Amino acid sequence: MRTTVSILLLLACMAPASVWAQQTMVSVVIQGGDTMPTYTLAPVLVEAQMTRKVRRNAERIDRLTRYVQKVYPYALITAKLLDEYDHDLAAIHRESDKELYLKLAEAELRAEFDQDIKSMTVTQGRILVKLIDRQTGHTSYDLVKQLRGSFQAWMWQGVAKVFGNDLKGEYDPEGDDKLVESIVRRIENGELATTPREARTEKAVARLVKRKARLYRKYGVETPVVTSN
């Protein structure tokens, strides 16, 4: 034991001065045979307690964040589907074929979103409308006008107003939607998580097959036979 202590003392004496300069003495407390270091934290000044107004505002932001996290994936899906529609329509020249394609696109959108949108609150629906505008560069009213015709779009606009949504409302990241934009940017930067939702879910595809079959019969088009590779 004495030999070990002597060796340790010798090594300590041989250590360069720079090593000793880097050492910091830390006080410890021994409890129940355990040795724990203790630290003294710098004082923190508490200027005021959270008021009800501040607490309500914090709760509002938390709620808005949850809503954006929920509906943002749907806006991404809409943008993806619209890109496909634009690409396909560019290659269609006959007006009757364009009309059928737009009807099929409408059927796909309805099959994709019908059930999910019915479960959303009015506020969530309003946020989704704004985010669709953000992701696609078009208001939802323009999208409906393209897919359903101006009269039906006007009708949808009237129904939406009854429930508190304005389908003509444009996304304003510098104004009314500034807080929503900051939440979306946090999602895009990976700071907030969302639940990914792929387009054409199994249930949506099943609904779409039935609607497409009805449209094919209406337009006198033979139902395509889809084979899996």
157-195 tens-digit pLDDT = 666 766 667 777 788 999 999 999 999 999 999 999 998
- The answer as to whether 18 is a domain residue is no
Distances in Å between the alpha carbon of 210 and those of 36, 82, 113, 147, 205?
A: 69, 21, 15, 19, 9
Q: Name the residue range of residue 112's domain.
A: 52-217
**Largest pairwise CA distance in the chain:** 102
**Number of structural domains, the chain?**
1
Q: How many CB atoms lie within 10 A of CB 13?
A: 7
| More confident position, 125 or 15 | 125
Tokens of 149: 């015709």
Q: Report the pLDDT value the prediction gives residue 229, as an integer from 0 to 100.
A: 38
- The answer as to whether 90 is a domain residue is yes
Q: Report the pLDDT value the prediction gives residue 123, as an integer from 0 to 100.
A: 87
Which tens digits make up the pLDDT trace of 12-65? 455 555 544 556 677 888 888 888 888 888 888 877 788 889 899 999 999 999
Give Cβ neighbours of residue 155 (< 8 Å, ≥ 6 apart): none
| Burial environment of residue 130 by CB neighbours within 10 A (0 to 12, 13 to 18, 19 or more) | buried
